[in-house]
Amino acid sequence: MDEARIDLARVRARAHYERFHLAVRRPANWLELIRYCMVGASGYVVNLAVFWLVEHRLSYPIAFTLAFVAAASGNFVLNRRFTFRIDHGKPHHQYARFVAVSAAALGFDLAVLALLVEVIGLTTLPSAAIAILLATPVSFFGNKLWSFR
């Protein structure tokens, strides 16, 4: 029985590998990633701008949360229409999934940032740049495969 489970796991792993390999070779997927990064850059600017505007009047966690929600909301609309070109499904369900993926990517981003600054000893700006680069594929695949499938 254990060998049957192992064989099934191997078959599934091979199927996932082949699907990934095919997806990586499609130029349309790379164009989606480029559009996703463009939207992400605009969201980064919105996030910083909103945070800068409200941080003087609110506590840091509340200001950060408002900035995150503003950026995520804008990014959702742009990713739905521009990046993935979705016109099906229920937008509020997709939005909930998008926010969940964004929050998970943010957690990953913050963990990488802390590792680079606290453990490796890099300064914050290069660490943030590296963390963002590493978190982008996590959020891209999460949104492509779950939020906007």
Tens of pLDDT, residue by residue, the chain (149 residues):
588 777 777 877 776 667 666 666 778 888 988 999 999 999 988 988 888 898 889 887 788 888 888 988 999 999 999 998 888 888 889 999 999 999 998 889 888 888 998 899 988 878 888 888 888 888 888 988 898 88
In 3D space, the residue among 43, 145, 44 whose CA is nearest the CA of residue 94 turns out to be 145
pTM listed for this prediction: 0.69
At 85, list the tokens: 């070109």
Task: Report the alpha-carbon distance of residue 14 to residue 94 in Å, rounded.
Answer: 29
In 3D space, the residue among 21, 14, 134, 143 whose CA is nearest the CA of residue 82 turns out to be 143
The conformation of residue 84, written as its DSSP 8-state character, comes to S
What is the predicted pLDDT for the residue at 68? 83
Task: Report the alpha-carbon distance of residue 79 to residue 40 in Å, rounded.
Answer: 9
